[in-house]
Structure 1
Amino acid sequence: MELFYTPPERIDLSSGALTVGDDEFFHIVKVLRKRVGERIRLTDGQGLSLAADIVAIGRHELTASIAGKEMVTAPSTRVTVAISLLKSAHRFDFFLEKAAELGVSAIVPMVTERTVSLPRAEKAARKIERWRKVLIAGLRQTGRFHLPDIREPRSFEEVLGMGGFDLKLVPYEASRRSPVSDFAGKNVLFAIGGEGGFSEREIGLAKESGFKEISLGRSILRAETAGMFAVAMVRAQLAATESQEEWL
C-alpha cells in the first residue's frame, strides 16, 4: 500500500481522525482516485505509521478515520549533511530527493566562500517549503516514517559550530585519508563544499573545529554526487553488518 504524508497538526489521535490536504490530497483523490471507504497508509514524518479509512472528501482536503497505528523507532545511526547551496536548483533538488531515499536525518543548506547561489531573505522561506516537498516525495517513495529535517541556510562558520555529533567529516579532493567505517549507532555530520569545493582556509578551519578530513576517491565529484556518496557510504557500511535495525 502506498504511503502518504500528513503533518502532525492534522492528526488527532484522541478522536481517531485526521485530515489530508495540499499536494497529498491531490495525489490521493485526483491521481489515484481514492474514494470514501478506501483505506490509506500515512505517516506524520515523526515515526507514526497509520492505517486510515477515508470518510469524507471535500474540495481541498479529505477526512479519514484512524483504523490502526504504530510508532516506528528512529534509527540509532543519524546522518546530517551540510551542503553548499548550488547554482542549479535542479541539482540541489536532486540531491535532496536521493538523500531522503537513502535515509539522511537532516540537511543543512550552507553558504561557503565559493557558494554561487545566495538566497535573498524574502525567498528563503519559499525555498525551504519547496525543499521540504522534495523530501516528502523521497519519504513516500521509500516508505520511510521519519522525514528528514531541512534547516534554514547557514554560513560555513555556523556549521563548524554545530555540536552534538560523534563524527564530523569533511570530504576534500586533496585528501588521501580513507573514510571512517564505524558509523553504526553514531550521530554523523558531513560538510560538503559546492562548485569549486572548499578553500584551503576553510579546510583548516574545519580541522580546528574537530572535523576529520577524508577522501571520497581520486575523481572529483559534483557537490550533489559527493553528498549522496557520503550518505550511501554510511548506508552501505550498515548494510554490511546485516543488522536491519541499524539501517538508515
Structure 2
Amino acid sequence: MRISRIYHPELLIVDQHVSLTDDAVNHLANVLRAKVGQAIVLFNGDGAEYCGHLVDVTKRKVVAMVDSKLSFSLESPLNIHLAQGVSRGDRMEWVIQKAVELGVTEITPLITERCGVKLSEERWLKKHEQWQKLVISACEQCGRNILPKLNQATDFADWINQSTSQLRLTLHPRADKAFRHIALPPSGARLLIGPEGGFSEHEIYQTEEHGFHTIQLGPRVLRTETAAVAAITALQAIHGDL
C-alpha cells in the first residue's frame, strides 16, 4: 500500500502526537479509510519529511505519532516565478498544479485586460484559498517538502512594476531567441504568460518598456496552459534539474 503524504501547517516534533487538519481527516478517514497503525509521511514546509503512524482514526479526528525526521530536498536549483494570466474554467487550476510539479518557486495569478474572470474581492480571496489547496495537494503528490509561494491575484500593471533581479521572460512565436540561447542570473527567471485571449497591445508595450525578453517555443501559437507548462519544462531542462 502506498504511504500517504500529508501537509500539516504547524510545527512537527519527533515523538509527539499531532492532530491533523480537517482536510487531512477527510482524506485519510473518509476517502482512504485509513486504519490505526498505518504509516504516514508528514511535511510542514520546513524542508523535511516526518515519518509517523496513525494512533487514532475517526470520521472527525485523526491523530498521528511523529516517529522520525528526514531532511532532504527535491527543490530545483532554478528559481522560477510564474506570472500566469488568469483563465476561465479549469485551465488555471491545471497550470498551477503542473507548475508545482515542475518545481516553480513562486506563482502569481495575473488580472489582465483580456482576463475572462471577473470576481469581487471576496471571491478572489476564496479563489486563492482554492488554488492554495491545489498547491498543497500537488506537493503531496510530487514529493516536494517546501510549498511554492502562491501570491494573491494581482493586477498586471502592479506586478510588472515590481523590481526584481530575475531575468524577465515572456513568450512570442516570432521571437528570435529560444530558451537555449539565454543565460540566467543566479536569481533565476520571472516568466510571464498571458491568458487565453493573449495580452493587449498596451500590455505588450509595457512588457517591452520593463525589459522583458521575448522567447519562442517554436513557430506555433500555444494555448495558455500549454505555453506555461512547455516554458517551465524548457527552463528546467536547459537550466534546472530535468
**Pair in the same fold by TM > 0.5:** yes
Cα distance, 1:181 vs structure 2: 4.7
Which residue of 2 is the match for residue 192 of structure 1? 193
Gapped regions of structure 2 (runs ≥ 5): none
State whether residues 183 and 237 of structure 1, in contact with CA within 8 Å, keep that contact through their aligned partners in structure 2. Answer: no
State whether residues 95 and 224 of structure 1, in contact with CA within 8 Å, keep that contact through their aligned partners in structure 2. Answer: yes
Which residue of 1 is the match for residue 138 of structure 2? 138
Cα distance, 1:127 vs structure 2: 0.6
* Partners of 2:182 and 2:63 in 1: CA distance: 46
Closer, same or farther: CA 230–185 of 1 in aligned 2, 3 Å: same
SS in 1 for 2:20: strand
Work out whether 1:61 is the aligned partner of 2:55.
no
Work out whether 1:207 is the aligned partner of 2:208.
yes
Q: How many residues align?
A: 239
State whether residues 95 and 227 of structure 1, in contact with CA within 8 Å, keep that contact through their aligned partners in structure 2. Answer: yes
Cα distance, 1:194 vs structure 2: 0.9
SS in 1 for 2:91: helix
Which residue of 1 is the match for residue 228 of structure 2? 227
What one-letter code is carried by the residue in structure 2 that aligns with 1:55? Answer: V
Instruction: Give the fraction of aligned pairs with identical amino acids, expressed as a percent.
Output: 28
Cα distance, 1:183 vs structure 2: 4.6
Cα distance, 1:68 vs structure 2: 0.8
SS in 2 for 1:109: strand
1:96-245 equivalence runs, <5 A: 96-179=96-179, 180-183=181-184, 185-238=186-239
State whether residues 85 and 109 of structure 2, in contact with CA within 8 Å, keep that contact through their aligned partners in structure 1. Answer: yes
SS in 2 for 1:113: coil
* Alignment deviations for residues 124-158 of structure 1 (CA, whole Å, 9 cap, x no partner): 12111111122222212212212222111111111
Gapped regions of structure 1 (runs ≥ 5): 239-245
* Partners of 1:112 and 1:120 in 2: CA distance: 15
Provide TM-score, normalisation by structure 2: 0.88
Cα distance, 1:117 vs structure 2: 1.1
What one-letter code is carried by the residue in structure 1 that aligns with 2:52? Answer: A
State whether residues 4 and 24 of structure 1, in contact with CA within 8 Å, keep that contact through their aligned partners in structure 2. Answer: no
CA RMSD of aligned residues (A): 2.2
State whether residues 19 and 61 of structure 1, in contact with CA within 8 Å, keep that contact through their aligned partners in structure 2. Answer: yes
Provide TM-score, normalisation by structure 1: 0.86
Which residue of 2 is the match for residue 85 of structure 1? 86
